[in-house]
Structure 1
Amino acid sequence: MPLTLRTAARLLSDHGLLREVIHDDRWMMQAPDDPAADLPFSAITYDTRTVGGGSLLVCKGRFRPEYLDGLDGRGLAAYVADTDYSAVVDAPGLIVDDPRKALSLLSAEFYGRPQDELTVIGITGTKGKTTTAYLTQAILNAHSGGRCALFSSVDNCLDGHTYEESDLTTPESLDAFRMMRQAADNGMRYLVMEVSSQAYKVHRVHGLTFDIGAFLNISPDHISPIEHPTFEDYLHCKRQLITNSKTLVVNADCDHMQLLRQDAAMADVPVAQYAFLDGTDGNGTDGTAGTDSRSGARDLFVAARPDPHNRMGFLLTADGAELGPFELAMPGTFNIANAAAAVAMALKAGVPATDPAIHAIERVSVPGRMERITAGGNLVVYVDFAHNYLSCKALVDEALRAYGDRNPRITLVAGSTGGKAIDRREGIVKGADGRAEAFYFTLDDPNFEDPTAIAEQMRSYVTDPHAETHVIVPREDAIRAAIEDARRHADRFNVVLLAGKGHERRNIINGKPVPYEGDAPIARRLLGL
């Protein structure tokens, strides 16, 4: 059904958002009795610069009345806002409680509810969303002949094989539904998307039900005045994925597991679990299915274990049945856990456990995620997006897992963002403190803050009295100094960890993106590769 003023008013009313419709000094609870109310909108937008004939404009965020100047003359058909703007524009107004929620609902309707034509999988967690999304897409692409779309913080893919750089972890709702429409029209059967805490905080996925939702892990992150005021708020936003999913896949070792299962039980959402079992967890998990405390039904349980015959490999089982040995292109036990999550989601999406498509995870690599650069000798460099406590700890864990028998000298190069996620600064240091022997604190999206002050603050969190600490603000210079320092310690095996930027090729400075060569290209150049 086309989106018109009448159908838009009805949709918003059905969802309890509509306060009133205002047009020609008339206030009412439905669209006016006017033929124009049944004309389909030609476009929906939240950007006044794109308004044309027949457009529906959603006024969200820090909207100002002067933004509406001249829009009647450009053919504005109607606007949606939480404020009456009839004094400055003649077009009808749909006055709502929350324009962001309205934008999501109206966008889905305008694009013909493309989510109904796709199996939509949403992934949340503090760490691992991107890697898990790529792993899941790989399985579903292999199973379906390349018909799985992807929305990630690195790339978006709408046709199963073409990847374009993305701007947000989770797109704005209008952009998300537009891209879903393109994906469905391209013949995609599946969509795998990352779902950030901010996506729920600002209602980018309002009204969207995921066929499968995955909750990977949780630890404090994004705590700041402009993001989440407290960890409780951060976790609360993450938890919204559970009640907006038809099936939940969750890490059996996730913190606050009791709360997550209670959320699922209250919403009658079945729960599947996965875990990496290294024999040291001590939680009694044996890799077989659990039971749903409400119904007694078996839950799918996907377990990953170290492969005794391959130090870099692992074994997977689903409800105790062997799926075979695997070895990932991306190192790290954390990525093995991500692989188990991806396999659990694929199985819940209908991929048979015997399908060779599951082995597609072995060929996946994600730019800037556990990217290992070797130049021979006693030096290896890792480039990783690690930017909080959990991810930085996992990065150091992997360095020690891979090279611990060589008594490695670990060097961490890291900075942290300005103006938000203030808690990351201590968390990054905490993830390496006592295990890294040298720290180089540097620039990483300082925005309007002084990068030197951020670096010095991070330096103050180092408690190891034996660790060397340096502040070198230009990031390329910090990487060069770390690599040169490692070469001076050639009597030891050296691991240099470049954390935080991952694949990114820009730094946000004074509100603007400034081009940056990238950690991996710089490291390769300095290593002569």
Structure 2
Amino acid sequence: MINRYNNLRRFFISRYKNTLHFFEAIYWNIYYHFPSRHLKVIGVTGTDGKTTTSFLIYQILKLVGKKASLVSTTGAIVGGKKIKTGLHTTTPDSKTLQKLITDAKDADSEFLVLEVTSHGLDQHRVLGINFDVSVLTNITHEHLDYHLTMERYALAKAKLFNRSKVAIINKKYKQFVHFIKNKKLKVSFVSISSLPYSLKKAVYKKFTQEYNRENLALAAVACHRLGISYTKIENIIGKLRTPEGRLDYITNDKGLKLIVDFAHTPNALEELLKFLSKTKGKGNLIVVFGSAGERDKTKRLLMGKVASKLADKIILTAEDPRTESISAINREIRKGIKGSQVQVFEVEHRGKAIYFAINELAKKGDTVVICGKGHEESLCFGKTEYKWSEKKAVRESLRGILPTYGKPVVC
């Protein structure tokens, strides 16, 4: 009964807030004179792979000589200038977003690649933007603290395609079209095998991870629908790179495979660990991760299950616990590990966990992957964000320095 009350309370609060967001979005569209009408806008949504796919589309457009801008989780690139959009932010609020679109227009961009979240869609942040092409990478378990059910989550994602001309959808998730109301939408279901033969070979050569091959296939088809020939795309594939914090290998002299990755959902963690378990060789696969506080609690057990199935050793630690207890979060993750033979350690301080993994637990030939933060520049404890860099923490640990949390960050 209490859970039902809490769910209803969250629902009505979100509806009230979203009414405010709706009028804010109308105001900022009018204030900036609907700037997106001057651009060809590509929207990318999905549970995982949004940032990588958006970044790949942006790079393809740039490499074939097009003027393009990008707004994504790792920040914005407008007229070649990098702009920070805030902590833990993917789709900015309507005021910030309309200003960025205006800046893109003023920089003579022809294309704008926009990473779009379910929260951003539900809260009307992209209201007033009509999308020429929209992409769905996948849809798996996430954000049920906000949407409550997978159906409502899918319906929120579908709003992007209700205001699009063309949809590029991962073929594995073709059932998603049942949530789309736009009858005029031109839909293409994409898989790696659906690509032209020579382009498919180039995709396989570029990435060894199946999930990144899928991301690149979606990006290639999206760009093709924008008028870029497959031949041109094939010619520049070798120059493409993934965004910061996605499968970032850190060189070291300890004989370890050291990786920083943003994986923070059950699906992303599973896809990453599947790949690493195949490439680890004879060494152990050690994963360092946690789960965010005040966010979807139902995914914690699932992440524990995934890690215990694919990793040899697990270190549970802090990942933006906010007002929740780190040990309580880790207990929920442990519920998914129960019965497994995998070794589990708990080191609440993230810096100490990384140091422990690299200097005390890992041996030469092991693979150590640190998940959940990637490119992000802060960790949230209570209501305060503290300066943090995952890569810096890894490099300090390699030098024998115990990483510490930085000063509070002004948001």
Report TM bin, short chain.
Answer: 0.7 to 0.9
Distance of 1:443 and 1:216 partners within structure 2: 28
| Identity over aligned pairs, percent | 25
Please list the CA deviations of residues 49-102 of structure 1 after superposition, one character each: whole Å capped at 9, or x if unmatched.
xxxxxxxxxxxx99xxxxxxxxxxxxxxxxxxx99xxxxxxxxxxxxx933222
Check conservation: 2:261, 2:371, Cα contact below 8 A: yes
Task: Decide which structure has greater helix share.
Answer: 2
Residue 393 of structure 2 is aligned with which of 522, 525, 528? 522
Corresponding residue for 2:258?
381
| Counterpart residue identity of residue 153, structure 1 | T
Task: Decide which structure has greater strand share.
Answer: 1
Query: Is 1:204 matched with 2:76?
Result: no
Corresponding residue for 1:272?
188
Query: Is 1:194 matched with 2:115?
Result: yes
- CA shift in 2, pair 1:503/1:328, >3 Å: farther
Q: Tell me by how many angstroms 1:342 deviates.
A: 0.8
Structure 1: which 5+ runs fail to align? Answer: 1-60, 63-81, 84-96, 278-286, 288-301, 303-316
Check conservation: 1:212, 1:245, Cα contact below 8 A: yes
Distance of 1:150 and 1:236 partners within structure 2: 25
Query: Is 1:505 matched with 2:384?
Result: no
Distance of 1:357 and 1:110 partners within structure 2: 41
Check conservation: 1:135, 1:361, Cα contact below 8 A: no
Query: Is 1:443 matched with 2:318?
Result: yes
Matches within 5 A, 1:49-64: none
Query: Is 1:253 matched with 2:172?
Result: yes
Distance of 2:191 and 2:322 partners within structure 1: 38
Distance of 1:217 and 1:340 partners within structure 2: 13
Distance of 2:154 and 2:228 partners within structure 1: 31
Please list the CA deviations of residues 157-201 of structure 1 after superposition, one character each: whole Å capped at 9, or x if unmatched.
111x22122222101112211111111011111000111010122
Check conservation: 1:328, 1:336, Cα contact below 8 A: no
Check conservation: 1:372, 1:380, Cα contact below 8 A: yes
Corresponding residue for 1:402?
279
Distance of 1:220 and 1:213 partners within structure 2: 21
RMSD: 2.5
Q: Secondary structure at the match of 2:231?
A: coil
Structure of higher CA gyration radius: 1
- CA shift in 2, pair 1:504/1:410, >3 Å: same
Matches within 5 A, 1:162-311: 162-167=81-86, 168-224=89-145, 227-254=146-173, 257-258=174-175, 260-263=176-179, 266-277=182-193, 287=194, 302=195
Corresponding residue for 1:412?
287
- CA shift in 2, pair 1:508/1:480, >3 Å: same
| Counterpart residue identity of residue 149, structure 1 | S
TM-score normalised over the length of structure 2? 0.87
Please list the CA deviations of residues 235-256 of structure 1 after superposition, one character each: whole Å capped at 9, or x if unmatched.
11111112111100000112xx
Structure 2: which 5+ runs fail to align? Answer: 1-11, 401-411
Q: How many residues align?
A: 385
Q: Tell me by how many angstroms 1:462 deviates.
A: 0.5
Q: Secondary structure at the match of 1:247?
A: strand
Q: Tell me by how many angstroms 1:512 deviates.
A: 1.2
Distance of 1:347 and 1:479 partners within structure 2: 42
Higher RCO (Cα < 8 Å, 6 or more apart): 2
Residue 359 of structure 2 is aligned with which of 484, 496, 504? 484
Q: Tell me by how many angstroms 1:377 deviates.
A: 5.7
Corresponding residue for 1:152?
72
Distance of 1:139 and 1:430 partners within structure 2: 37
- CA shift in 2, pair 1:420/1:469, >3 Å: same
| Counterpart residue identity of residue 397, structure 2 | L
